Structure 1
Amino acid sequence: MSIKVVRYQRENQHDYCEITMENNQGMQVKLLNYGATLEKILIPTAQGLENIIMSLDSPADYSKARNFLGGTVGRVVGRIRHGQWQYGNHIVQLPLNDGQNHIHGGTGTDTQVFDFSTHFDTHQSTVAFILFDADGNNGYPGNMKLQVSYTLDNDNQLTYRIKAVSDKLTIFNPTNHVYFRLNGSESDVLGLNLQLNSDVYLPLDADSLPYQGRKSVEGTVFDFRNAKPVGTVINSHDPEIDAEHGLNHPFLLRGDDPAAILSSPDKKRRVVMTTKSPSIVVYTANHFDHTGIAKHIGQYDGITLEAQVPPAEGSDLTAITLFPGEQFNTWTKWQFEY
């Protein structure tokens, strides 16, 4: 195992660093302390190392425009209707940055520079990121200490952990926003096979928020209980898929492992995902259009499997409420086979 740290820029008294972990199989994971970001996952091939996630051209590009690629998105990922959290007679108003809704924590944790430390031994290597997010930042109550870690072992498993504690009642529902592609940069994800251990999904309204509770996947295009190509769903002309221009839907997990399996068309590459989180939001990079800092990325060039508590229909956010001093702790593991 090895870890290498390279500083690529300095701004506002912060060092921006790229950290590379490499295991004994030759697999590499590149991280950025900007946003506690998973920048690249590189697997060895006969032609050299190949990146199997969506990435920008250089580490410095990540702070130029917000694209969520591999970032630790919080405090709350996804949308909050009207930006409102109500508890008792109290209403907390968050900034509206997605029409009449709040999304991805405002200027969220994926846009902040984390401190970090590294550790490795003969079996695994870990990078631990730490961020202090002040009371009132982006409208969220509570001074919060956030810890994010990535651990790579010699069995090609990458473990992602999030821990946090706040000194005030607050809401918290972060995730990693990595987009997998598996087959390098020359193909989209429509041919990838996806399996989800989920019997239930949440239909979305015009604001891309749940509005009619749970719905069985039985008899719908959202039935991924048996693996099938992502493209069969994207091209199904199902009204819900057409409205979102692809998948953007929460799937409630049954709780048995694995939560999800993503595999290449030839089955030679797989990501097997397990998580403590109760749901996965599947998003197929619907909005990318080869413009801006991500000009080399287009629609359906990647797919996210965002482990999180599913978004709520209204302002009752009990499921993601964190009490003062309460320890938040979640994890996701990705096992890579190639």
Structure 2
Amino acid sequence: MHTININLFNEVNDDQKIFEYHLTNKNGIQVSFIEYGATITSIKIPVSNDKKVDVVLGFDNIDDYINSFGLPNAPYFGAIIGQYSGRIKNASFILNNEKIDLNANSGENHIHGGIHSFSQKYWHLEKFDEVENAITLTLTTDENQENYPGSLKVSVKYQLTEDDKLIVDYKAISTNDTIINLTQHSYFNLDGHEKDVLNQDLKIYAEKYLETDQQNIPTGKFIDVKNTNFDFTDYKKCPEKVDNTFVLNEGNDVAVSLISKQNKLQMNVYTNQPAVHVYVGGNCFNQIKGKENANYHTKSGICFETQNFPDAPNHANFPSAILKKGESYNQKTIFEFKKI
């Protein structure tokens, strides 16, 4: 049996209340969301008769989510990233023979949608679907927000199935030709969000990754993972440091698998996107406490950002990131949880 519940998460002020929405399935998995950033705040999974583990990082109140964007390196915990995930070199690209200059928010470059990104917007709850055990959140951008051409209408549908899959379904349509690259930025830790990820086993279904320059921007070249530190074609312990885009094997929709032997739990990530950007982090610089007073650090969680390639608009050999006026952008990612 599945259920949808709502509770008050926080009051921003007298006029604005933030609600938290909970999807629960017959196996007792509960996934929670808030409208700010269309953010996943928790994923609680039963690992024994009397214990649930919360497998994503996050905060206990809205102020901490908002203030986290002022940290030296904003974590974007659980948020939807947009309009373009990852870096765009020199915050510019050519579209229809016209140079577009975006806002630079990472030195001279543009990252994760800019200064006023989708992650910092209040999304609108469009629909509860008790039959599908799903909620849909929507966002409409201002014309030329962050200098992206057009106005974009985006929807993200979160569905929790009875076979323990969290399906994230993205759709978008633009009033003008533009570029788009959406992703979900949850930091996972199958051992629980109070620990580090280094004892978990990771497999990435990719034989190549993107070469990057000193600013971590793709050069346009592909590197074979063999004989490198980024060969996760077989299970290995999570690395202490990774911030790289892996080119997913064609014809295989599974992107990564993560295993916690401690909790006998496995997570598989499936996607229709060409890449997954993998990042270990979560550091809050001892400035903001995580959920349940957790002290998040550089190895607290691991992100699996299923997406198109970073800086794709500036590389003719990368998959196109262009969304034509009136056409529909469709992206789907599935997080599957299994007992082992």
State if a TM-score over 0.5 links the two structures: yes
Report what 2:307 is aligned to: 308
**Compared with structure 1, are the counterparts of its residues 12 and 68 closer, same or farther at alpha carbon in structure 2 (3 Å cutoff)?**
farther
Q: Is structure 2 residue 337 aligned with structure 1 residue 336?
A: yes
Instruction: Name the residue aligned to 1:249.
Output: 244
Q: Is the 8 A contact 1:201 1:215 kept in 2?
A: yes
CA distance change for structure 1 residues 88 and 138 in 2, over 3 Å: closer, same or farther? closer
Q: 1:78 aligned to 2:80?
A: no
Q: Which shifted more, 142-151 or 44-53?
A: 44-53
Partner of residue 120, structure 2: 111
Q: Deviations over 1:209-237 (max 9, x none)?
A: 11251011111111111111113xx3xxx
Map 1:279-294 → 2, pairs under 5 A: 279-285=275-281, 287-292=283-288, 294=290
In the alignment, which of 29, 37, 40 is matched to residue 35 of structure 1? 37
Partner of 1:159: 167
Q: In 2, Cα distance between the equivalents of 1:17 and 1:85?
A: 38
User: 2:11 and 2:263 mapped to 1: Cα distance?
Assistant: 40
Q: Which amino acid aligns with 1:247?
A: V
Q: Shift of the alpha carbon at 1:310?
A: 1.1
Does the C-alpha gap of structure 1 residues 27 and 287 become closer, same or farther in structure 2, counting only changes over 3 Å? closer
Task: Provide the C-alpha distance between the structure 2 equivalents of 1:209 and 1:139, rounded to a whole number of angstroms.
Answer: 20
Partner of residue 240, structure 1: none
- For structure 2, which runs of at least 5 residues remain unmatched after alignment? 70-74
Task: Using the TM superposition, give the Cα deviation of residue 13 of structure 1 relative to its aligned residue in structure 2, in angstroms.
Answer: 5.5
Determine if contact 1:166/1:325 at 8 Å carries over to the other structure: yes
Equivalent residue for 1:5? 6
Distance 2:16 2:146 in 1: 21
Is the CA contact 2:284–2:295 (under 8 Å) kept in the aligned structure 1? no
Contact 1:211 1:313 in 2 (8 A): no
Correspondence for 1:63: 66
Structure 1 residue 32 displacement after superposition: 0.7
Distance 1:149 1:77 in 2: 18
- Aligned position for 1:92: 100
1:95-244 counterparts in 2 under 5 A? 95-106=103-114, 107-116=116-125, 117-121=127-131, 124-211=132-219, 213-231=221-239, 234=240
Q: Secondary structure at the match of 2:337?
A: strand
Q: How far did residue 100 of structure 1 move?
A: 0.8
Question: Do 2:86 and 2:311's aligned partners in 1 also have CA atoms closer than 8 Å?
Answer: no
Secondary structure at 1:195's aligned position in 2? Answer: strand
Please say which of residues 12-21 and 96-105 is displaced more in the overlay: 12-21
TM-aligned CA deviation for residue 47 of structure 1: 4.0
CA distance in 2 between counterparts of 1:48 and 1:286 reads 24
Q: Extract unaligned runs of 5+ from structure 1.
A: 235-245
SS in 2 for 1:62: helix
Q: Which residue of 1 aligns with 2:72?
A: none
1:241 aligned partner: none
Q: How far did 1:196 drift?
A: 1.1
Q: Does the aligned pair in 2 maintain the 1:195–1:227 contact within 8 Å?
A: yes
Cα separation, partners in 2 of 1:26 and 1:87, compared to 1, 3 Å: same
Does the CA contact (< 8 Å) of 2:159 and 2:167 recur in 1? yes
Change (3 A) 1:313 1:162: closer
Contact in 2 for aligned 1:161/1:331 (Cα 8 Å): yes
Give the aligned residue type for 1:115.
H
Letter in 2 for 1:263: I
Q: Is the 8 A contact 2:289 2:296 kept in 1?
A: no
RMSD of the TM alignment (CA)?
Answer: 2.0
Structure 1 residues 51, 208: closer, same or farther in 2, change over 3 A? same
TM-score when scaled to structure 1?
A: 0.90
* Matching residue's letter, 2:324: F
User: How far apart are the structure 2 equivalents of 1:280 and 1:119?
Assistant: 29
SS in structure 2 at match of 1:334: strand
